[in-house]
Chains A and B, each alone.
Chain A
Amino acid sequence: MNAQPTYVRPADVEDAISIKASLGPAGIYGCGLTAAQLGWGVKGPEQTIIDIAGLDLGSDVCLADSGSMVLAANAPLERLRLDPLISRQLPWFAEFLRYVGSTATRNQASLGGNLLWGAGDLEVLFAAVDAKLRFAGNGRAQSLGPTVSDQPEDLLISIIVPALQGQRIFVEKLGHRQAFSPSRVVVAGCVGRQSARLAVRLAGHPVATVETPWPMNWPLDDALFAGNAAPYLKSAAHNLLRGHLAQLAQRDMA
């Protein structure tokens, strides 16, 4: 039987930050806890969970005047998937969410948790579109990258997806079956008129991102394909990226 975790429910963002400060490493932020519980084992969590699921971090989805989209870090993924504004502005995101967990998982799982967990599929997509994470306190907005999940001290408030006029987005996940699977490979790209930003994660490795001119110089940058990953994962990732980019290039030519 699993031990029951200890929770605290902060009243607001300030309260959450001060609880975290007082608990130090003995406390962690938790939202849907779908990712965090994967590492608990039968003993349950060692830390106190600071439950941020109910905090007011703004509306789930907000379209800023600049055309960028601001998404609340604690918004459950399924709510985002069904959000009409997301469907209109970021249809590739809504579509891709179908491949993240299952409906039941997505009802609990949050966007922030996915981006900070360290192995979330959305990290690849959001790295490709160069989304920024806004943390509480210092107001810093940070790109996704290897250092992000090293900072469990900071409370993620929102995610800003920049305006993407004219950019073509693709994203694909390769799992062990058609749906409801951990990913083996995730690739994503955001292709503009003159440049493309590509992101890849091979299972067990961090997300790799490159900026490249468009139309592209082949071959693809080796740095995208983690050096010690299984050859199959590298080949599949390579084929996926090449395939999607070739389709876009063909469309450009047409």
Chain B
Amino acid sequence: MNAVTGLEEKLRGSFRYLAEGQPVGTLHGALLTSPLAHATIRRLDVSAARSLNGVHAVVTAADVPSDFVMGTAILDRPPLARGKVRFQGEPMAAVAAETQEIANAAIALIAFELEPLPIVSAPGDALNEGAAKLHDSGNLCSSFIYSRGKVDADFEECAHVIDHRLTTPRQVPAAMELEGGICIPSPTGIELRAATHSPFYTRSLIASMLGLPERDVRVIGSPIGGSYGGKEEIHIQPVLALLAWTARRPVRLILDRPQSMAFATTRHPFEIALKIGCDRAGRLLALAADVLVDNGAYASFGPEVLDTGMECIQSAYAFRSVKLRGRLAYTNNGVGGAFRGFGALQTLTAIELAVDILARKAGHDPLTFRRINLAGANDPGPLGQAIIPQPELPKVADALSSLPAWRDETPSQRYLSGTGYALVRKGEGFAGGGPNGASGVLALTLDGQVMFQSSLVEMGQGLETTVRNTLLATFDLDEADIGCATGSTDAGADSGPTSASRGTQIALRLIRAGKMPFLEKLYVGAAEILQVPMDALRLGPGGFYQRMAPQNKPDLSLSDLAASAGEIVTQIGIPGIETMQAGANVHTLFTTCAARARVRIDRWTGQVACTGLDLLPACGPPISPVAFQGQMTGAGAQALGFCLTEHQPYEEGTVMASNFDSYFIPTIADVPDVNVHPVTWLAPDDPVGIRGGGEIGLNAAAPAIANAVASALDAAPTHLPVRPEWVLDALARQGRTP
């Protein structure tokens, strides 16, 4: 089976997001958001809004328990601004009313007074003494320090040393589905239908805010109409739940695009300064890195993003010594958060650019240079931690070197072309401390289906297709015999977040772990009903067959088994693969990918087009090749946006692009065919199995594109996205303009 679940509905336009299909009588929600980026709330008077006919609830921070704040490592964000607003677009109040028009009118009736505070618009300024403080704790949200070996002495020993600086864009998730949902209250609890990567986490948060037992909160978080990390963060769910709980009526609340552009968490812009050096033979000796990150107004996943970025800054290479410093600063520029690539994208792009510059300086071709500097299969991880061995690294490097040459481009006076490479690795799943373990359920349902239940969510990545393919292969059953329930708290089995590329890996490990105990229960039940020994039976399409008397239909169908034996359920639990290391958040499992990109540069206009992209992900054999190709193609497109077209600028805390007519995601015309060459080999003793493909393609594609630009221009980009202005200047400096 190869078909992608939901494909037909999506093609026909009948696929429904969770915020659609509300029950009759559902109220309409609307938000009052802050027009200012930094201000004290002097007055917020909702009395006129409350008394408007047709309004059922108006909520503000006063309706939220005063100790309720959100975040992961750092809890600092109220669902509705409390006393202060810290970014433009921050919700201050919300309304639920009979119609959208009434809700909007009520919002307009809310009287408020904001006293402007100085705006912190750059992370460097934020950390200056005397900068206005966003939070009482100061503007340094989090920091990272790590060193190994004698960096200064190793730089002395280097035959070649280079410095490179890179600033990266604030990329917007730009998912088709906007943040929103429907919340349906009952006398004792609520049902929340809103996209989330982690239904159980959302449940515990909402239950604690409303003071409800967790069992009275049902969360349906899947399917998701695109997230890329944007819906990993708690978004509008608490406000929605608060409205429905207050109004005691179902409420639908959904942001519009301009609201989303200001409110949704974005990719953190990084300012990265690198110095690396190698000896005469081209062996990397030392790396010094200083990274400053614009976190925006609330911590969200910022500390984890910084840690992951810093952990990946050595890419897949073995440096003898490193000295790393990273700082995450609060600013009034929206809110940075989880985003596919998760900090690694930024630092990997920088280090891969630096590696190419150094290779060229040292007189090596970039592929050989990478090959000789690869980390050893059994080396410790980048921060000295124990990791799952990576014998695949040289195989990926070999595959990259063996790619067939590009077809020659017609020589042209107008265009220059360049080829770039990258070879990267990134931690999969969460760092030590998790949540890394997971639970799931294999069940024979009363209607005779083998059902895998988990709280992992489907967000277009093909999780359900992969699960179904795996069930078919694992149990030798027919399409009609299997089922998959994902994305809610219903199963009672918390599989942890569908993030950090772990969803597929976790689902497969759960099925693998549950297979034998579940089969045993089925065989025991069948043997008892058929009055034969278990080893006389075989499970196949439709049910159980007697081995000695093969028939073309089962001797005991799955539905007859269920009818006699009742529901057969196996609860599954798998432990996290994790290493705990004092003072650092470290990963244990790393996924590798290489990439080759070709760009074409227009000497007349400075425009850069990506004309070819090869990705070589080492994730093991793809279970659903179509979904895997989709992940990789999407990763290529997002990498292209990161390198060439996308940036959400802020000026003095003001969002400059509030829609897609001024924020430019690549269209199909920009994206070349993405050729995926999976490196399917897994070590025979590999303890994990296939790796997730959610992020790694992106992390390799972006540096390859950036390196292709550098090779075409003989100048490495210092700023992404690459601006055509910069390209023309670079050409002019080299006397290469037309």
Contacts and interface: CB of A to CB of B under 8 A. Distances in A.
Interface of A: 1, 38, 174, 176-182, 185, 232, 235-236, 239-240, 242-243
B609 A178 contact: yes
A175 B360 CA distance: 33
B738 A243 contact: yes
A240 B604 CA distance: 6
Contacts of A178: 609, 667, 669-670
Contact of A177 (B664, B725, B728, B738): B664
Contacts of B738: 239, 242-243
A180 B644 CA distance: 15
Interface string B146-173: 0000000000000000000000000000
B605 A182 contact: no
A242 B666 CA distance: 28
Contacts of A185: 605
Contacts of B605: 174, 185, 236, 239-240
B607 interface: yes
B667 A1 contact: no
Contacts of B204: none
Contacts of B606: 232, 236
21 contacts: A1-B100, A1-B101, A174-B605, A177-B645, A177-B666, A177-B667, A177-B670, A178-B609, A179-B667, A179-B669, A180-B669, A182-B661, A182-B662, A232-B606, A232-B724, A232-B725, A236-B604, A236-B606, A236-B724, A239-B603, A239-B737
Interface in B649-667: 661-662, 664, 666-667
Nearest to A241: B604
B414 interface: yes
A176 B104 contact: no
B604 A239 contact: yes
A239 B728 CA distance: 10
A176 B725 contact: no
Nearest to A98: B669
Contacts of B662: 182
Interface string B571-582: 000000000000
A185 to B, nearest CB: 8
Contact of A243 (B604, B607, B725): B604
Q: Of A177, A179, A243, which is in contact with the most chain B CB atoms at under 10 Å from its CB?
A: A177
A39 to B, nearest CB: 12
A238 B656 CA distance: 28
Q: Of A176, A179, A181, A185, which is in contact with the most chain B CB atoms at under 10 Å from its CB?
A: A176
Contacts of B414: 243
Contacts of A232: 606, 724-725, 728
Nearest to A178: B669
B607 A1 contact: no
Contacts of B664: 176-177, 181
Nearest to A250: B413
A240 B669 CA distance: 21
Q: How big is the B interface, by class? A: 20 to 34
Contacts of B607: 174
A240 B738 CA distance: 10
A177 B660 CA distance: 12
A180 B605 CA distance: 18
Nearest to A99: B669
A52 B490 CA distance: 55
B557 to A, nearest CB: 50
Interface in B569-612: 603-607, 609
B645 A176 contact: yes
Contacts of B666: 177
A175 to B, nearest CB: 8
A246 to B, nearest CB: 8
Nearest to B104: A1
Given A176-B664, A177-B664, A239-B605, 8 more contacts: A1-B100, A38-B661, A178-B609, A178-B667, A180-B669, A182-B662, A232-B725, A236-B606
A77 to B, nearest CB: 18
A179 to B, nearest CB: 4
A31 to B, nearest CB: 20
Nearest to A3: B101
A38 B104 CA distance: 21
A243 B413 CA distance: 9
Nearest to B644: A177
Nearest to A38: B661
Given A239-B604, A240-B604, A243-B414, A180 B737 contact: no
B417 to A, nearest CB: 16
A248 to B, nearest CB: 14
Contacts of A242: 738
Contacts of A180: 667, 669
A176 B192 CA distance: 40
A38 B605 CA distance: 27
Q: Of A38, A174, A178, which is in contact with the most chain B CB atoms at under 10 Å from its CB?
A: A178
Contacts of B644: 177
Contacts of A174: 605, 607
A170 B498 CA distance: 51
Contacts of A1: 100-101, 104
A214 B725 CA distance: 31
B278 to A, nearest CB: 37
Nearest to B662: A182
Contacts of A235: 728
B335 to A, nearest CB: 24
Interchain residue pairs A-B with the least CB separation, the first 3: A179-B669, A239-B604, A178-B669
A239 B601 CA distance: 14
Interface string B494-519: 00000000000000000000000000
A188 to B, nearest CB: 15
A185 B738 CA distance: 18
Contacts of B725: 232
A111 to B, nearest CB: 21
A7 B667 CA distance: 34
A8 to B, nearest CB: 24
Contacts of A236: 604-606, 724, 728
A231 to B, nearest CB: 8
A79 to B, nearest CB: 22
Nearest to B606: A236
Contacts of A181: 664
A239 B725 CA distance: 13
Contacts of B100: 1
A181 B724 CA distance: 15
Q: Of A179, A185, A239, which is in contact with the most chain B CB atoms at under 10 Å from its CB?
A: A239
